[in-house]
Amino acid sequence: MSTPAAMAISAPTQKKTAAPLIVAAVVAAIGFALPSLGVPMTTLSLLAQASIVGVLATAVGFLVRQSGFVSFGHAAFYGGSAYLIALLAAHSKLSAEIILIAAPIIVLVAGFALAFIMLRTSGVAYSMLSLAAAQACFELMMKWRSIANGEDGLAIKLPREVFGLPLSIFQRPDSMFMVSWAVLVVIVVCLWFLSRSHFGTLTLAIKNNEERVRFLGYETLLPRAIIIALSAFIAAIGGVLFALYNGFVTPMALHWSLSGEALVIAIIGGTRAAWGPALGAFIFIFLRDIAGNNTTHWQGIVGITLIVVTVLLPNGISGALVTLWNRARGVSNV
Amino acid sequence: MIIQVLNGLVYGGMLYILSVGLVLLFGLRRVVNFAHGGLFMLGAYAGYAASMQFGFWGGVVFSVVALAVLGALLDRLVFRPLQNVDHMITVLVTYGLLLVFEDFVHTVWGADLISVRVPALLAGTIGIGDTQFPVYRLVVIAVAIAVALGLSAWLHFSRAGLYVRASSVDSLTTAMQGVDTERLSIGVVALGTALAGLSGVVAAPLIALSPSMGSSILIESFIVVVTGGLGSFVGAFIAAIVIGQVHNFGVVYLPNVSSMLPLLLMVGVLIWRPTGLARTQS
């Protein structure tokens, strides 16, 4: 909390109360209780999907919040991690547990290395570059039939037990929702703590004005690279969940329409709060399910929603909720 | 070999016409238009629809005019109202527009691939060395060269061109010198989108029309624009020609990794010169 520039954007002016924490704990608990409340299986399947996509959207939103970079290529980390699992499971003798842990770590390291190239650009060029890089991965897996089986994708060979749990736990909607919900909650809580830490404030300050932060004597390249790598890592964890749940991966997990979807979810949910993109994911997946049954214009609806939200609600739904909450408590908005 | 080079030039020429439109928009509005691929697609479909009535050339004219009008509307309804907000917001809005355009095309023309026939006048082939080369492909190269020459003449010898060049270097200072960038931009954005339409309608006989044709070429044109240096006309030209060659070489000789080659080229250029080939200052 030593950089004035950062104080200006993130200074918490709300009264410190336990209320938000209680709300968060209640929401998390409700999530865990859902499967035992007799929620239908189709709903649970949507919930499981939403939590997995929520992890990916959280990664995208985290990058926007802490660095201002708008990524159009996060599917590369997500699908890349799923492909790594599939390829390592098929071609190496490593145990499934090691593969499932190694995949996101490899993506983390790759993301860190990639960050130094990405950081040579700025702002808008970052978006263009992330899109191009991710789509190149998609094309690579699409065309390199001998290793990735092209469009048909790969089945992921996993043993019957993973981490001492039967594999079916990860492939049934009710139990997988619990697992992915737990992962999502842990990630959001970690990111919430991170955004309150010195490192979080520093990266916000760099986002606001990189030059000034350098003048204050901070190294600014490394923190940004770490943010990009962490965001890649979170997306890769989403990829692990996806791989476990589906047991199958196709190039569509790398396609830019998925990257775009994750970005739209993050923007609609709102990136100022760590939990915004996750909220966006649940709204998005359920709306898509409703719309899918009634119209073929889902893509157009998404496009219009994106335009309306970016113009009218720049902080997304979570931002609007926070404003309402503060107003209800009689606290002025930040 | 010469055939391969020519094919690379065809693709590079197409990319150039599309990318230079992006450069025009970026120069004046400091906005990367994610809907540009959508405009390319709309241009191709509009040309296809009009060609049913008025023949191929009628389709070309209709498509260019329709896209210029659409560009003028975009400038007034999207870029101008959003000029004072964060540029990322405009990027997201144009991305939303891309989704809407794709949905529109999908609704009107369906998801099936549509192939467009080369006009009868240009359907023949011409002997180059000991192989035959389609005349239409040579026409695409000629169109690209004509666009490049016309554009650079306009940029260098007209007052409006001078303003555009000045504005793409520093739009604030240009405005301070008394140039009405607002009035300028409606024409320039219309020109940029008309070029997107032109590239779409010219490319239509070479590639099949589908609602996803816009996004794949958008990515290649981004590579061109970033490699050339954001906002640089000369850079876009050189990068489009080089990437056309690299793309074609990759498809023929290294099919497995062909999609990686333009990207690797761009990464190499960015490491060597972070601001792209032609840009000297950031």
Q: Do A136 and B88 make contact, defined as CB atoms within 8 angstroms?
A: no
Question: In the predicted model, what is the mean pLDDT of residues A53-59?
Answer: 95
Distance between start and end Cα atoms, chain B: 38
Mean pLDDT of chain A: 86
Find, among A203, A53, A80, the residue nearest to A137 by Cα. Answer: A80
Q: Do B256 and A311 make contact, defined as CB atoms within 8 angstroms?
A: no
User: Is A81 inside any structural domain?
Assistant: yes
Find, among B194, B187, B182, B193, the residue nearest to B161 by Cα. Answer: B187
Q: Do B17 and B141 contact (CB within 8 A), yes or no?
A: no
Q: Do B186 and B75 contact (CB within 8 A), yes or no?
A: yes
List % helix, strand, coil for chain A (3-state, nearest 5): 75, 0, 20
User: B134 φ, ψ to 5°?
Assistant: -65, 135
pLDDT, position B63: 92
| A133 interfaces chain B, CB cutoff of 8 Å | yes
Residues A269-287 have pLDDT tens digits of: 998 888 999 999 999 998 8
Element (H, E) at A134: helix A123-143
Q: Which range of residues forms the domain containing residue A250? A: 4-10+17-255
How far is Cα A242 from Cα B17, in angstroms, rounded to an integer?
40
Sign of the CA dihedral running A282, A284, A285, A291: positive
Reported ipTM: the value is: 0.83
Element (H, E) at B127: strand B125-128
Give the helix ranges, DSSP H, for B124-281.
135-157, 159-169, 171-176, 181-203, 213-228, 233-253, 260-272
Q: Do A307 and B96 make contact, defined as CB atoms within 8 angstroms?
A: yes
pLDDT, position B62: 92
Of A129, A143, A296, the CB nearest to B255: A143
Confidence of residue B100 (pLDDT cuts 50, 70, 90): very high
Q: Do B32 and A128 make contact, defined as CB atoms within 8 angstroms?
A: yes
Domain count, chain A: 1
User: Is A21 inside any structural domain?
Assistant: yes
User: Is A200 inside any structural domain?
Assistant: yes
- B32 chain-A contacts, CB cut-off 8 A: 124, 127-128
* Lowest mean pLDDT across A165-174, A244-253, A325-334, B19-28: A325-334
Q: Do A77 and A55 contact (CB within 8 A), yes or no?
A: no
User: Is A326 inside any structural domain?
Assistant: no
pLDDT, position B65: 94
User: Is A203 inside any structural domain?
Assistant: yes
Q: Do B263 and A133 make contact, defined as CB atoms within 8 angstroms?
A: yes
User: What is the secondary structure of A81-129 as a DSSP string?
Assistant: HHHHHHHHHHH----HHHHHHHHHHHHHHHHHHHHHHHTTS-HHHHHHH
Beta carbons within 8 Å of A175's beta carbon, 6+ residues apart: A35, A168, A169
Eight-state DSSP code of residue B117: P
| B111 interfaces chain A, CB cutoff of 8 Å | no
Confidence of residue A16 (pLDDT cuts 50, 70, 90): low
pLDDT value at B20 more than 60:
yes
Structure tokens at A93: 């003798």
Q: Do B279 and B230 contact (CB within 8 A), yes or no?
A: yes
Q: Do A270 and A317 contact (CB within 8 A), yes or no?
A: yes
Of B87, B223, B271, the CB nearest to A132: B223
Q: Do A329 and A323 contact (CB within 8 A), yes or no?
A: no
pLDDT, position A1: 38
pLDDT value at A64 more than 70:
yes
Mean pLDDT of chain B: 86
* Lowest mean pLDDT across A139-153, A314-328, B52-66, B223-237: A139-153
Question: In the predicted model, what is the mean pLDDT of residues A89-99?
Answer: 87
- A136 chain-B contacts, CB cut-off 8 A: 259-260, 262-263
Confidence of residue B274 (pLDDT cuts 50, 70, 90): confident
Confidence of residue A17 (pLDDT cuts 50, 70, 90): low
| B230 interfaces chain A, CB cutoff of 8 Å | yes
| B32 interfaces chain A, CB cutoff of 8 Å | yes
Confidence of residue A6 (pLDDT cuts 50, 70, 90): very low
How far is Cα A154 from Cα A207, in angstroms, rounded to an integer?
39
Question: In the predicted model, what is the mean pLDDT of residues A7-21?
Answer: 57
Residues B25-57 have pLDDT tens digits of: 888 878 888 899 999 999 999 999 988 888 888
Find, among A256, A244, A286, the residue nearest to A269 by Cα. Answer: A286
How far is Cα B219 from Cα A161, in angstroms, rounded to an integer?
42
Q: Which residues pair with A161 in a beta bridge?
A: A166
Find, among A33, A36, A35, A59, the residue nearest to A45 by Cα. Answer: A35
pLDDT value at A332 more than 60:
no
Find, among A142, A331, A106, A44, the residue nearest to A233 by Cα. Answer: A106
Residue type, A288: R
Q: How many Å lie between the alpha carbon of B273 and the closest alpha carbon of chain A? A: 9
Of A127, A146, A256, the CB nearest to B91: A127
pLDDT value at A4 more than 50:
no
| B91 interfaces chain A, CB cutoff of 8 Å | yes
Residue of chain B with shortest Cα separation from A126: B226
Q: Do A300 and B89 make contact, defined as CB atoms within 8 angstroms?
A: no
* Lowest mean pLDDT across A30-39, A95-104, B18-27: A30-39
Q: Do B99 and A68 make contact, defined as CB atoms within 8 angstroms?
A: no
* Lowest mean pLDDT across A12-21, A47-56, A271-280, B190-199: A12-21
User: Is A283 inside any structural domain?
Assistant: no
- Please count the other Cβ atoms lying within 10 Å of the Cβ belonging to residue B219: 25
pLDDT, position B282: 39
pLDDT, position A121: 74
* Lowest mean pLDDT across A12-16, A281-285, B267-271: A12-16
Q: Do B196 and B40 contact (CB within 8 A), yes or no?
A: yes
pLDDT value at B281 more than 50:
no
pLDDT value at B272 more than 90:
no
Beta carbons within 8 Å of B147's beta carbon, 6+ residues apart: B16, B17, B20, B195, B198
pTM: 0.86
Question: In the predicted model, what is the mean pLDDT of residues B209-222?
Answer: 86
pLDDT, position A31: 80
pLDDT value at B59 more than 50:
yes
Question: In the predicted model, what is the mean pLDDT of residues B99-105?
Answer: 91
- A300 chain-B contacts, CB cut-off 8 A: 99-100, 103-104, 107
pLDDT, position B279: 59
User: Is A98 inside any structural domain?
Assistant: yes
Q: How many Å lie between the alpha carbon of B262 and the closest alpha carbon of chain A? A: 9
Distance between start and end Cα atoms, chain A: 17
Of B95, B106, B219, the CB nearest to A306: B95
pLDDT, position B112: 84
| B140 interfaces chain A, CB cutoff of 8 Å | no
Local structure of A220: helix, strand or coil: coil
Cα atoms in the Cβ-side hemisphere of radius 13 Å centred on B6: 18
Q: Do B44 and B203 contact (CB within 8 A), yes or no?
A: yes
User: Is A289 inside any structural domain?
Assistant: no
Q: Which residues pair with A154 in a beta bridge?
A: A249
Q: How far, CA to CA in Å, does B212 sit from each of A25, A124, A215, A295, B64?
A: 43, 23, 46, 20, 20
CB contacts < 8 A, A to B, total 120
